[in-house]
Structure 1
Amino acid sequence: MSELNDIKGRLALITGASGGIGAACARQLALKGTNLALTYMSSLSAIESLVTDLHTLSPNLKISIHKVDVGKKEDIDQMFSEIDAQHGHRPDIL
């Protein structure tokens, strides 16, 4: 049963990762060894700073960032194409 709950090495998609709650979720998942696909809408510097912090917590994580307006289908389609290319599969955790 514990294998079902093990998230180490899985891929989590976090929308709004440059903000407070999204960034906090990313930090907690990083501490558990979860690879991350992080989205932001306007603050590239905030998301880049977060990625730097996350790599300090867990240097071996695979982290990708994606500029996405979740209200636009084409942005969402592009994000999943990028995630497929960069991680090799779709997210396990939303």
Structure 2
Amino acid sequence: MILKVTLTHTATETYEYIFNQIVLKFGVAAAKKFERKTLQTLKALSKTPYIFKSIEGNSDVRKGYINKNCSFFYQVSVFEVSILFFWDNRQEPLL
């Protein structure tokens, strides 16, 4: 069964921030490559939502990877996969 993938408001904001940082540092071509990889990953996630491991301390939230520099956190429900936020792995961890 293919699940619908939705992005929270925070996920949209964090994705746009990371995308814009890539444009500024590496150019539009690199940002478009990141965008394609993100869409490819989310499409695969809709087909196999449990492909990534749950995070320690909260089995409802899972951490997925776009590339070595970008992760995302998500939850799976009966009908959809909800992307909570994107994370630039080079930034300081949340406390």
**TM-score computed with the length of structure 2 as normaliser:** 0.28
- The answer to which structure has the higher helix fraction is 1
- The structure with higher relative contact order (CA 8 Å, sep 6+) is 2
